[in-house]
Chains A and B, each alone.
Chain A
Amino acid sequence: MPSPPLLEVNDLYVQFPTPTGPVNAVAGVSFTVSAGETVAVVGESGSGKSVSSLALLGLLGSGKISSGSVLLRGDELVGAGREKLRRLRGAEIAMIFQNPMSSLDPLFTIGDQLIEALRVHRPMSRRAARARAVELLREVGLPDPERRVRAYPHELSGGQQQRVMVAIALTCEPALLIADEPTTALDVTVEAQILELLRTMQRDRGTALLLITHDMAVVAEMADRVVVMYAGQVVEHGLVEDVLRDPRNPYTKALIDSIPTPATPRDRPMPAIAGNVPTPAQAPPGCRFHPRCPSVFERCSVDAPRLYQLGETRASRCWLHETEPSGSVAETVEEVHRVG
């Protein structure tokens, strides 16, 4: 990478207390996001994708970052004071969430919620803030912004609420926008509109986008690079076209195969992955995917594989790469002893 990354997450561990002791929902996750690029973190339930992103800003409820490092422009955020994190939220890193219907305070108007976001980080008169709020609503394509600025969240549709969320996220021109399943709760036609809005916004402002999703199709549509997670770990990352065309990790490959597309033959069974998606507490020893893996061999159930760097821009976590010619062991960002 020519420029230092905007965001650099290194070996992040996030722990949740449970009645049976602490559980690592995220176990040694590393990735980077450069200015202006879109990185997708993709995974199924329990993969830790949302937890990783919420942890960056200290927005987890009971979960805590137990170790690792998060650098924003080289500045360490792990262990930073609450006030420092607060100043970054909204200003440098903004977020939008999965459920627009519940993500806006039902008791305040859209305008009030935008004005609050505008005035939190910079001094601004209420009047100027209101004018800016209307402008922002127009930018995100909300019809009739002068009137809608006085509307309450329940008076808007899900798609319109998500547009408002995007407007709130844009108020302070953040360098990074984290979108956590931004279209999962929306209908497909509205999803397409919101994805388009995110693309336009990113093109016009050069905002970096960290897109958290379970949907490979959304990854294909939106991202430059993709990070595939499984059971709290990164199993593969690389450029989207590389990973989707030629997945190197057995999990990534199986996941892609199991997605129904218009070309899936109807007279044959879907290629499914056997077994169930483990919760973080149930993560098996060795490679976390081994009980479901079609290419499993003895070693997989004993030792946890590390993330092998495969060329400049990709890496995959699988013992197969140990013997594979393309799998160079150099340059791993992983400490094997901490896994499991």
Chain B
Amino acid sequence: MIGYALRRLGFGAVVMFLVTVFVFMIMRLVPGDAVSLQLQDTGVSKAEADAMRAEFGLDDPVWVQLWTWLGDAVQGDLGTSFYSGESVVDLFLARIPVTVQLGLMAMMLGAVLGLVVGVVAAATRGSMVDGAMRLFAVAFLSVPNFVVALLVLTGLAIWFAWSPPIVYTGPAEDFTSWAQQIAIPVIALGTGGMASVARLTRSSMLESLGSDYIRTVRAKGVRERVVIAKHALRNSTIAVLTLLGLELATVLGGTVIIERMFSLPGTGQLIYQAVLDRDYPVVVACTIFYAGLFVITIILIDLLYALVDPRIRSGKALS
């Protein structure tokens, strides 16, 4: 088990390194750099622009830049923003909490509600409840998250003449205001995941409920409640865990738009602006942050697999 965990971690480190190199290269290879973008239409001479490039280190070969950057990054210095001149680390630390709150709550909403809906639908297979749940799941799956957000916003505004506060406040300062502000983004980001989790839970629960080992459990005289909650659900989680990993990518991608829509000061907004500005240090740091979040989740999910399934612990493939 420990060996398995270490192997996963090592794998994660390799992926992170490759992502870093890749992102760094791509950003440098895209035509039009930050300097030309900042100086366009200002009539600054080429010599002055080159001087600025030299100052930012943009005239070195790409691999030298990469090497310098990696060296600094290892020491906790991710560079400074070409624009604001602030340290990228500081920019980040200020914004990470918002995105993590948003992402975590959206994932939780999706996972927990999705599981509940899926289990109920499977247990009541073929009933009205099951039908309604499946219909809603398809609806939520087909509507993009920003549309959900708009619909909720509009609905609340029309029927209750209410809209969330515009300026973000942290949960520690004003919990009510924070909750009001973050609720709709969480719902918008979470519903898609909830729908896919619900659908997958339902189908893998049904598969599990029709399996030979569930027949054995029933033949033992175990209550149907226990059959579902203990045996069928646990066997279904394996498939659902895989989905949650993929869902995280969707949620993280979603934060970029949703944070802008609700003017939440998170990393999503940061990366959006940085890309527009070609603010390399920020873009690179953001991308690596997102990739890192993703890799960590995947590792966590792999470890959860092993926790749930003894066949993975002992290194036997899933059959």
Chain A residues at the B interface, C-beta cutoff of 8 Å: 57, 59, 61, 82, 86-91, 94-95, 97, 99, 102-109, 113, 116-117, 120-121, 152, 154-155, 165, 168, 171
CB distance from A82 to the nearest CB of B (A): 7
Query: Which residues does chain A contribute within 8 Å of B308, judged by CB atoms?
Result: 107
B200-226, CB < 8 A from A: 210-224
- CA gap between A186 and B220 in the complex, in Å: 23
- CA gap between A106 and B319 in the complex, in Å: 10
- A91→B316 contact, CB < 8 A: no
- B212→A90 contact, CB < 8 A: no
- CA gap between A168 and B215 in the complex, in Å: 13
Query: Which residues does chain A contribute within 8 Å of B316, judged by CB atoms?
Result: 154
Query: Which residues does chain B contribute within 8 Å of A61, judged by CB atoms?
Result: 210
- CA gap between A108 and B226 in the complex, in Å: 14
Which of chain A's residues has its CB closest to B318's CB?
Answer: A106
Query: Which residues does chain B contribute within 8 Å of A107, judged by CB atoms?
Result: 231, 234-235, 308-310
Which of chain B's residues has its CB closest to A112's CB?
Answer: B230
- A86→B309 contact, CB < 8 A: no
Which of chain B's residues has its CB closest to A95's CB?
Answer: B219
The answer to whether A106 and B219 touch (CB under 8 A), given A82-B224, A154-B316, is no
**19 A–B contacts, CB within 8 A, in A order:** A82-B224, A86-B221, A86-B222, A87-B221, A90-B219, A95-B219, A97-B212, A102-B212, A102-B213, A103-B212, A105-B213, A105-B214, A106-B309, A106-B310, A108-B231, A120-B221, A120-B222, A154-B314, A155-B314
Which of chain B's residues has its CB closest to A151's CB?
Answer: B310
Query: Which residues does chain B contribute within 8 Å of A99, judged by CB atoms?
Result: 212
Known: A59-B215, A106-B311, A120-B221. 15 other contacts (CB 8 A): A59-B218, A89-B218, A95-B219, A97-B215, A102-B211, A103-B216, A104-B216, A105-B214, A105-B235, A106-B309, A107-B231, A109-B310, A152-B314, A154-B314, A168-B216
We find that the number of chain B residues with CB closer than 8 angstroms to chain A is 25
Partner among B211, B219, B231, B234 whose Cβ is within 8 Å of the Cβ of A59: B219
Partner among B216, B222, B224, B311 whose Cβ is within 8 Å of the Cβ of A152: B311
Query: Which residues does chain B contribute within 8 Å of A171, judged by CB atoms?
Result: 220
Query: Which residues does chain B contribute within 8 Å of A152, judged by CB atoms?
Result: 310-311, 314
Q: Could you give, for residues 267-311 of chain B, a 1 whenever the CB lies within 8 Å of some chain A CB and a 0 otherwise? A: 000000000000000000000000000000000000000001111
Query: Which residues does chain B contribute within 8 Å of A91, judged by CB atoms?
Result: 221
Which of chain A's residues has its CB closest to B219's CB?
Answer: A95
What number of residue pairs across chains A and B have CB atoms under 8 A from each other?
80
- CA gap between A80 and B90 in the complex, in Å: 69
- A154→B311 contact, CB < 8 A: yes
- CA gap between A107 and B313 in the complex, in Å: 11
Interface centre among A90, A109, A171 (most CB of B within 10 A): A90
Query: Which residues does chain B contribute within 8 Å of A121, judged by CB atoms?
Result: 221
CB distance from B226 to the nearest CB of A (A): 8
- CA gap between A155 and B309 in the complex, in Å: 13
CB distance from A245 to the nearest CB of B (A): 35
Query: Which residues does chain A contribute within 8 Å of B310, judged by CB atoms?
Result: 106-107, 109, 152, 154
B214-260, CB < 8 A from A: 214-224, 231, 234-235
Which of chain B's residues has its CB closest to A94's CB?
Answer: B219
- CA gap between A90 and B296 in the complex, in Å: 45
Partner among A106, A108, A116, A154 whose Cβ is within 8 Å of the Cβ of B220: A116
List the 6 closest A-B pairs by CB distance, nearest first. A90-B221, A89-B221, A102-B212, A152-B310, A90-B220, A95-B219
- CA gap between A82 and B224 in the complex, in Å: 9
Query: Which residues does chain B contribute within 8 Å of A106, judged by CB atoms?
Result: 213, 235, 309-311
- A89→B219 contact, CB < 8 A: yes
- A86→B213 contact, CB < 8 A: no
- CA gap between A104 and B217 in the complex, in Å: 8
Query: Which residues does chain A contribute within 8 Å of B234, judged by CB atoms?
Result: 107
Query: Which residues does chain B contribute within 8 Å of A102, judged by CB atoms?
Result: 211-213
Query: Which residues does chain A contribute within 8 Å of B220, judged by CB atoms?
Result: 89-90, 94, 116-117, 120, 168, 171
CB distance from B189 to the nearest CB of A (A): 31
Interface centre among B218, B220, B314 (most CB of A within 10 A): B220
Which of chain A's residues has its CB closest to B211's CB?
Answer: A102
Query: Which residues does chain A contribute within 8 Å of B235, judged by CB atoms?
Result: 105-107
- CA gap between A61 and B216 in the complex, in Å: 13
- CA gap between A88 and B222 in the complex, in Å: 10
- B309→A105 contact, CB < 8 A: no
- CA gap between A114 and B219 in the complex, in Å: 13
- CA gap between A59 and B210 in the complex, in Å: 10
- CA gap between A86 and B211 in the complex, in Å: 18
- CA gap between A90 and B300 in the complex, in Å: 39
Which of chain A's residues has its CB closest to B309's CB?
Answer: A107
Which of chain A's residues has its CB closest to B237's CB?
Answer: A107
Query: Which residues does chain B contribute within 8 Å of A116, judged by CB atoms?
Result: 217, 220, 222
Partner among B216, B314, B319 whose Cβ is within 8 Å of the Cβ of A105: B216
CB distance from B231 to the nearest CB of A (A): 5
Which of chain A's residues has its CB closest to B231's CB?
Answer: A105
Query: Which residues does chain B contribute within 8 Å of A89, judged by CB atoms?
Result: 218-221
- CA gap between A113 and B214 in the complex, in Å: 11
Query: Which residues does chain B contribute within 8 Å of A168, judged by CB atoms?
Result: 216, 220
- B217→A105 contact, CB < 8 A: yes
- A103→B309 contact, CB < 8 A: no
- CA gap between A154 and B223 in the complex, in Å: 25
Query: Which residues does chain A contribute within 8 Å of B212, judged by CB atoms?
Result: 97, 99, 102-103
Query: Which residues does chain A contribute within 8 Å of B309, judged by CB atoms?
Result: 106-107
Query: Which residues does chain B contribute within 8 Å of A59, judged by CB atoms?
Result: 215, 218-219
Query: Which residues does chain A contribute within 8 Å of B314, judged by CB atoms?
Result: 152, 154-155
- CA gap between A108 and B221 in the complex, in Å: 17
Query: Which residues does chain A contribute within 8 Å of B224, judged by CB atoms?
Result: 82, 86
CB distance from B187 to the nearest CB of A (A): 33
B180-213, CB < 8 A from A: 210-213
- CA gap between A116 and B219 in the complex, in Å: 12
